[in-house]
Amino acid sequence: MGNMSGESSPAIESNSPVTLTDADFDSAVTHNPSLIVDCWAPWCGPCRAVAPTIDELAKSYSGRITFGKVNVDDNPRVAQKFGIMSIPTLLFIKNGQLVEQLVGVVPKKTIEEKIQKLL
């Protein structure tokens, strides 16, 4: 069959964060029961500070939790949907529902405590 774009995507198995957009965000939420989304922008220094932590966590929890990144400059619908005013913001989504939201640069330990709610 081949992977035609436009088909619904299955759950994403990845050991690094996947790039999400306004167009595929809802599909990612639907297909990934445990999803953490890093909302960021290229000009945001704190966003770059938290990125290595997100990369590490994506490897640690590969196969259990999907990590995504949304550039809020390019994807305003996601930012509006969740009322994001400050970045970086991490969205913790379980079975399609937002269960937790962290704003700003937070320690890896804090993020891991929130991750437990998704497992």
Catalytic site positions? 44, 47
- Using the structure block, give the residue that is written with the tokens 């050991």: 15
Count of other CB atoms within 10 angstroms of residue 1: 4
Pairing of the two strands 18-20 and 66-71: parallel
- Residue type for 29, please? V
